[in-house]
Amino acid sequence: MAYEFDHVHIKSTDPGKTAEWYVKAFNFKILSDATRMWGDRFIRCETVNGTIINISGSRTNEKMGGGDASAHYGIEHFGIKVDDMDAEIKRLIGLGAKVMEGPIDVPNNGPRIAFIMAPEDVRIELMQYRNK
């Protein structure tokens, strides 16, 4: 299986202000800006070379922590595309990862997602896209 880097997600107390800073500082392009079903403002950006950077606030009633594998401000996680969520979770648990959340089927033909804690308390989102 080929693994691909998917995105970086930055949590912010003010997603709009943070996104605009990245637009000015590094010429990010804002692709979308919406409030998601979880209540957070979610701004999807793209770097000049096509890397996706998501910037969002906290979800409704989400308590933000410091730098660890829980949800927190700053660089919160990076995402990896997988072909088979269940098989990958099993394989990664075998390598010492812990499931933090999910799998979750995102509505409206969204991806199936899960969050794991990797070594050094790194938060990684696994993303299995649906066949269209």
How confident is the model over 56-99, as pLDDT tens digits? 999 999 998 765 788 888 878 888 899 999 999 999 999 989 99
pLDDT > 90 fraction of the chain, expressed in percent and rounded? 55
pLDDT beyond 80 at 120? no
- The DSSP code sequence of the chain is ----EEEEEEE-SSHHHHHHHHHHHH--EEEEEEE-TTS-EEEEEE-TTS-EEEEE-PPTTPPPBSSSSSSBSEEEEEEEE-S-HHHHHHHHHHTT-EEEEEEEE-TTT--EEEEEEEGGGEEEEEEEPPP-
How confident is the model over 27-37, as pLDDT tens digits? 899 999 999 99
Between 112 and 122, whose confidence is greater?
A: 112
pLDDT beyond 70 at 51? yes
Domains contained in the chain, CATH given: 7-61 (3.10.180.10), 82-132 (3.10.180.10)
